């Protein structure tokens, strides 16, 4: 009987406690295990850094609940439901893989909870029923910024070589889209598989058109294969790529052949080298400090910065939403959604964000800088 009484008191106490506080609750889902964990773990560290950086809005504390989806879309769906229905979160942030992110977006839209995606989303949302936005730069923008740089460098004829998969298509189509409006011409469309042992044939074909520059549509270590083949054939022109190449193994494998390649990447990659006037400089250094404090390791990636920017978008929208509604209510969720979609000129460490209903992404060319590989280190190339 006494035990029973104690339990009841405890439950009553909990109920009182949870109604008394009006914290803003945020549900965060990432992939701490499974194949997506190599980027899911940085996302998780990024959110810890963000929590370290700002843990309350207008005096309201923020409560963060983090769950692992194991890189599995059905687990992401379950997590999203659990967070909304049991934890009554005001906002969802997630996750590392695109399929899981889309699954979470479905739940968020159904249950009318604002959702900040840290993976790229494609397509166009219905403005009347849009609850999600996406933080990262879309792939088309990555290529456009590189293409603009080629134009500025007065490159006319471009050779293209990339993966024979969706990523290779994405980069090629991006380059082709720029060709239509600008002066550069993409003359080749050579592809190789990720498991290929040699690209000599493709490189000879690329060199046969005598390009001023070569654009690489590969990623990671295997992105260095065309560069090595180009080096072997004594190619003296410029080489370009995208942020998919920014990886320590790429630098190690590519060695001398990769020197001088220019890629488009988020400014946070080269935070220290940015000019003081750059919007991301001060913030990126603050982000690095917060990251070091929260995780005891320095940041080396661009992914954790997406979580951080997602957090900034949320906190700035929450400041405004708090004026009209109390956290934990349906009205607050709606106000938060409207305020997120009304974000104007908010600078983060990756981009300056401008969201509006009818589009997931809200970044422009300012979200990317060109970095060049010099002596094995990425350097800012204004």
Contact residues: another protein, CB under 8 A: 35, 38, 164, 190-202, 204-205, 208, 220-222, 224-225, 232-233, 249, 252-253
Please report how close the Cβ of residue 56 comes to another protein at its closest, in angstroms: 39
Please report how close the Cβ of residue 230 comes to another protein at its closest, in angstroms: 13
Please report how close the Cβ of residue 253 comes to another protein at its closest, in angstroms: 5
The answer to whether 109 and 83 are in contact (CB under 8 A) is no
Please report how close the Cβ of residue 188 comes to another protein at its closest, in angstroms: 9
Indicate the residue among 44 and 218 with the shorter CB distance to another protein. 218
Q: How far apart are CA 327 and CA 172, in angstroms?
A: 46
b/e per residue 60-86 (b: at least 16 CB within 10 A): bebbbebbbbbbbbebbbbbbebbbee
CA atoms within 13 A on the CB side of 85: 9
Indicate the residue among 47 and 246 with the shorter CB distance to another protein. 246
Please report how close the Cβ of residue 225 comes to another protein at its closest, in angstroms: 7
Q: How far apart are CA 358 and CA 78, in angstroms?
A: 27
Indicate the residue among 69 and 190 with the shorter CB distance to another protein. 190
Indicate the residue among 253 and 363 with the shorter CB distance to another protein. 253
CA end-to-end span of the chain, whole Å? 74
Look at the block and give the residue holding tokens 């990251």.
291
Report the DSSP pairing between strands 369-374 and 377-380.
Answer: antiparallel
The answer to whether 142 and 243 are in contact (CB under 8 A) is yes
Q: How far apart are CA 302 and CA 369, in angstroms?
A: 13
Please report how close the Cβ of residue 258 comes to another protein at its closest, in angstroms: 13
Q: How far apart are CA 344 and CA 302, in angstroms?
A: 23
Indicate the residue among 34 and 106 with the shorter CB distance to another protein. 34
Give the number of other Cβ atoms within 10 Å of residue 154's Cβ: 10
Indicate the residue among 167 and 287 with the shorter CB distance to another protein. 167
Q: How far apart are CA 244 and CA 256, in angstroms?
A: 19
Give which of 129, 40, 35 is closest to 93, Cα–Cα: 40
Residue 157's H or E segment, with its range, is strand 157-163
Please report how close the Cβ of residue 171 comes to another protein at its closest, in angstroms: 15
Output the 3-class SS for 182-221: CCCEECCCEEECCCCCCCHHHHHHHHHCCCCEEEEECCCH
Residues 112, 356, 353, CA angle at the centre, nearest 5°?
110
């Amino acid at each position: 009987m006494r035990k029973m009484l104690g339990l009841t008191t405890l439950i009553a106490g909990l109920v009182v406690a949870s109604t008394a506080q009006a914290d803003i609750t945020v549900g965060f889902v990432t992939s701490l295990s499974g194949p997506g964990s190599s980027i899911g773990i940085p996302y998780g560290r990024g959110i810890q850094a963000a929590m370290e950086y700002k843990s309350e809005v207008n005096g309201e504390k923020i409560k963060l609940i983090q769950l692992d989806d194991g890189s599995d879309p059905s687990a992401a769906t379950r997590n999203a439901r659990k967070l909304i229905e049991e934890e009554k979160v005001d906002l969802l942030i997630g996750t590392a893989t695109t399929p899981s992110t889309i699954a979470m977006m479905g739940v968020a839209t159904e249950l009318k909870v604002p959702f900040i995606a840290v993976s790229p989303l494609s397509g166009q949302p219905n403005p009347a029923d849009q609850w999600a936005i996406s933080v990262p730069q879309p792939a088309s923008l990555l290529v456009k910024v590189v293409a603009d740089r080629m134009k500025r460098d007065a490159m006319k004829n471009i050779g293209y070589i990339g993966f024979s998969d969706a990523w290779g298509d994405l980069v090629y189509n991006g380059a082709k889209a720029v060709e239509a409006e600008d002066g550069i011409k993409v003359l080749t469309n050579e592809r190789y598989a990720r498991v290929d042992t040699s690209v000599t044939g493709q490189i000879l074909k690329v060199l046969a058109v005598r390009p001023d520059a070569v654009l690489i549509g590969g990623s990671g270590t295997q992105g260095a294969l065309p560069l090595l083949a180009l080096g072997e054939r004594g190619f003296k022109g410029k080489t370009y790529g995208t942020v998919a190449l920014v990886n320590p193994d790429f630098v190690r494998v590519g060695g001398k052949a990769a020197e001088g390649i220019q890629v488009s990447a988020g400014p946070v990659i080269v935070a220290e080298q940015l000019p003081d006037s750059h919007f991301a400089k001060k913030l990126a250094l603050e982000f690095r400090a917060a990251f070091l404090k929260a995780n005891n390791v320095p940041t080396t990636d661009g992914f954790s910065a997406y979580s951080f920017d997602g957090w900034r978008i949320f906190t700035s929208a929450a400041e405004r939403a708090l004026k009209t509604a109390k956290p934990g209510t349906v009205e607050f969720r709606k106000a938060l959604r409207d305020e997120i979609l009304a974000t104007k000129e908010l600078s983060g460490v990756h981009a300056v964000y401008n969201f509006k209903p009818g589009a997931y992404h809200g970044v422009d060319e300012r979200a990317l800088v060109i970095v060049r590989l010099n002596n094995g280190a990425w350097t800012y190339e204004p």
